[in-house]
Amino acid sequence: MLRIGLIGAGYWGPNLARVLNQSRRTHFSAVCDIDARNVEKITTQYPAVRGFFTVRELLDSGVDAVAIATPISTHFELAKQALEAGKHVLVEKPLAHESVLCEQLVELAERKRLTLMTGHTFIFSPPVIKVKELIDAGELGDLYYMSLSRVNLGLYQKDVDVIWDLAVHDISILLYWLDAMPTEARAFGRACVQKDKNDVAFLWLRFPSGLVANIEISWLSPQKMRRSMIVGSKRMVVYDDIEPSDKVKIYDRGVMVHQPESFGEFQLTYRMGDMVAPNLRNIEPLLTEVEHFAECAETGAIPMTNGAFATRVVRVLEAAVGSVREEPAVRTGVTLA
């Protein structure tokens, strides 16, 4: 079993602690946090776990790997320190706050022959995997566009705006589904509550195939929404993560163009077929993610959300944020390819 320590036991850390303790592939042996109360909560709940207040103490405690669940601005330094100490690293998304720092971590992990993985948990979600299977099998036909919404009332973050906090999820999902980088990224947002942080934003991405995608994200919404719509020439799909069941719905609907028999106009007909909700596995994505990390650390296999994948996600985030900062009169988008 992989002996693993948890760095950061605040907001997301307890979720990781639970699955690290639950997994049959990991031995949850240590936790570290600057807040003694957070350490006490974890060690009280899991008595076999040793508590530390410095990262160096945890790294010297005999762990083989670390899971990092701290503010984004600290990811790079903590991951670097762990890799230099010879530990495999699972770090929460995004990998770092700059793509150049992500690249440094990737190079360091390769040089040390260590596993570096980012916690893009939705990539391990059965509904997201199902949509990927539909796309890869050509079941949807030519992909026209995608529309994704991820809104809620809060949770406001201290060190990043809504793009870095929420759009990271949908960008990772898009890159996973399409296996391609966008050629163009645009965005704009507004800081409604805090003057220095956008709490609502809209992103537009264009991909080499011609597909366009829009992402709506907000910390300022009366309802929680986690909804994606994928429109293809053959079928359309709605993935709603809030649905208690039938999270993926496949619609046999679309528009068909018929060639005119003479010099008349093209004729359009609308296909209104059945809706099918496929049966999905009932597994916890976070547990699957942790066990995938442990397997890769033990076997040397390349993680699905490895450092290279995480770097591409950050590059798209940077492009979107960069377009927000441009003056509207000169905004033309950011070319990524």
Amino acid identity for residue 168 in this structure: V
pLDDT of residue 124: 98
At a CB cut-off of 8 Å and minimum separation 6, what does 204 contact?
184, 185, 186, 187, 212, 213, 214, 215
| 2-120 and 123-284+317-330 agree in CATH topology | no
Return the domain boundaries, the chain: 2-120, 123-284+317-330
**What is the fold, at CATH topology level, of the domain defined by 2-120?**
Rossmann fold (3.40.50)
Residue 332 confidence (pLDDT): 39
For residues 185 and 320, the answer to whether their CB atoms sit within 8 Å is yes
Residue 330 has what pLDDT?
37
Query: Is the Cβ–Cβ distance between 286 and 121 less than 8 Å?
Result: yes
Q: Is the pLDDT of residue 326 over 80?
A: no
**Quick one: pLDDT band at residue 277, thresholds 50, 70, 90?**
very high
Phi and psi angles of residue 260, each rounded to the nearest 5 degrees, phi first: -70, 145
The residue among 71, 81, 82, 98 whose CA lies nearest residue 313 is: 98
pLDDT, mean of residues 287-296: 98
pLDDT tens digits for range 16-59: 999 999 999 999 999 999 999 999 999 999 999 999 999 999 99
pLDDT tens-place string over residues 260-271: 666 666 677 777
Kind plus residue range of the DSSP H or E element containing 109: helix 99-112
pLDDT at 336 over 70: no
Considering the segment(s) 123-284+317-330 as one domain, its CATH architecture is: 2-Layer Sandwich (3.30)
pLDDT (0 to 100) of residue 258 = 67
pTM recorded for the entire structure: 0.92
In tens, the pLDDT along 133-180 reads 999 999 999 999 999 999 999 898 888 899 999 999 999 999 999 999
User: Residues with Cβ < 8 Å from 14, sequence gap 6 or more?
Assistant: 41, 42
Predicted pLDDT of residue 254:
82
Cα–Cα distance measured from residue 255 to residue 104, given in angstroms and rounded to the nearest whole number: 48
pLDDT value of residue 253: 85
pLDDT in tens, 176-194: 999 999 999 999 999 999 8
Distance CA 193, CA 291 (A): 39
If one compares 32 and 258, the residue with the highest pLDDT of the two is 32
84-134 tens-digit pLDDT:
999 999 999 999 999 999 999 999 999 999 999 999 999 999 999 999 999
Write the pLDDT tens digit of every residue in 201-237.
Answer: 999 999 999 999 999 999 999 999 999 999 999 999 9
Q: What is the mean pLDDT of the chain?
A: 93
What is the per-residue pLDDT for 154?
A: 86
Contacts of 54 (CB under 8 A, 6+ apart): 32
Kindly provide the b/e burial profile for residues 112-144, where b requires at least 16 CB atoms within 10 angstroms of the residue's own CB.
Answer: bebbbbbbbbbbbbbbbbbbbebbeeeebeebb
